[in-house]
Structure 1
């Protein structure tokens, strides 16, 4: 029976990532001839080809594609474990990496980070916003340790902890006719410019939980990345938006905006922190989750 070694997985991953034997050999700190020898030895041990050779180009066989998938799954776990063990050996805790799938949650997160850093002086915090609406893969790939999201995707190996509830509301500027209503209905937005974060429509609550079920869309949809610019646009009468009530109330004095309920029943949401099951018992991760659960966003 062929015996797989970590070096085999690293070879398959490096060749695929770097596209040539020369670049892969450099990455693995080998000569090109040594890498070629390792490849021949790997295929001999497995008893089947891992690559199709097309001139200088290597293309993975079906077995090679399988090995690559295994490499992508196992190598990040081994690298993460080595990093953790190294931190333990040096008396450090390392860095708590948090991915964001919630644009406005960044303001909420900042207020939790300060007391957390004070309570855990040997743990650093890094916030990775590039994982917005793609954080599940980042958790499985050991690129982040926690994922802040309003839309948990429950999968084996992951745990999602609810940390706080909030209401999604419509945001309008001064003098806007909708600000006088007790609540808005989808039809009220048919003639409006709707300003949102640059996120796919099927991941925006204002669409999925309010407009789309009613078969209604806004007159215009304008994506904006920055929360401050979004609120300034609304305050200037350039459109309306949908945000958490706590954020609108917190920013109302700065931007002269007002929250209006979405529908008679409102739109209820909840923020979750997701983590890997295997990490659920780590004290410094648990401390962050507990601190987040105890914090209530909004004006003081």
Structure 2
């Protein structure tokens, strides 16, 4: 009895017919029939019986199918272990962040990590951006990057970095000479945000909502470059992280202003499930993320 015979029996049972098993195993019907007869000859008994045009396992076939599952699963595990010994760890990390601007630095960090661990697939799950903690708990992602931690005993938070949010205005805006702005300054302004809901926007959470202040107009504009152009034209204001804003400040047509007398600073965290056992490469990735962001970006 050979491995190909075990794969054949498993495919026929799980696909439900010889026709479907042919497609799965990439065999011709004559080749499949030959292999099945060969296996039955070696065992000295029938493996399948025909019942109303359906193939049904015999008692011997049932025992063989059980053995096929065990042996093929063990073989698959062994192949993975050997590949790990030769090529290093193999696995997947699904990651998302609640802040779209974070995607400016995240791909670069992931690329550096992939050079060290080429067999770890790193997947950015964009659709989890608005609700990363919820998607973490639903097992849609493995790691969430958030600046808005929620107390939950099932979630573990590891500090990643701290940044400062600044307001961006045109050089002609009436705020341009202010050292800082407060909530009341927003009453007659057109606030550009990256996406709704407004409750997830940092300047709303930590400045406007506590003061019960609403800007005159709020527009969601998902493209940072488009928002910057709106600001340049004095058609709105926007909040951006200081590190993400630096490249745009080279152009004197926009200015950055502190939010609040002491500035609006926020901490970002890596969130993982507290009750979940992660492979060792997850710990390597988290350490790498913390080190690289603080050293290379100096956020």
Specify the TM-score bucket, using the shorter chain as the normaliser.
Answer: 0.5 to 0.7
SS where residue 203 of structure 2 aligns? helix
TM-score normalised by structure 2 residue count? 0.66
Alignment of 1:1-300 (within 5 A): 88-89=80-81, 91=84, 93-253=90-250, 256-279=253-276, 282-294=279-291, 295-296=293-294
Q: CA deviation at 1:218?
A: 1.0
* C-alpha RMSD of matched pairs (Å): 2.8
Moved over 6 A (4+): 28-31
| Count of residues in Structure 1 that have an aligned counterpart in Structure 2 | 221
Change (3 A) 1:87 1:136: farther
Distance 2:15 2:167 in 1: 56
Change (3 A) 1:99 1:242: same
Which structure has the larger Rg?
Answer: 2
- CA displacement, residues 34-63 of structure 1 (integer Å, 9 cap, x when unaligned): xxxxxxxxxxxxxxxxxxxxxxxxxxxxxx
SS where residue 246 of structure 1 aligns? helix
- CA displacement, residues 151-171 of structure 1 (integer Å, 9 cap, x when unaligned): 122323321111000111111
Distance 1:288 1:228 in 2: 30
SS where residue 252 of structure 1 aligns? helix
Change (3 A) 1:29 1:152: farther
Q: Which runs of 5+ in 1 are unaligned?
A: 1-27, 32-84
Q: CA deviation at 1:256?
A: 4.3
Distance 1:182 1:176 in 2: 13
Distance 1:218 1:233 in 2: 16
- CA displacement, residues 96-130 of structure 1 (integer Å, 9 cap, x when unaligned): 11122111111121221121111111112110111
TM-score normalised by structure 1 residue count? 0.66
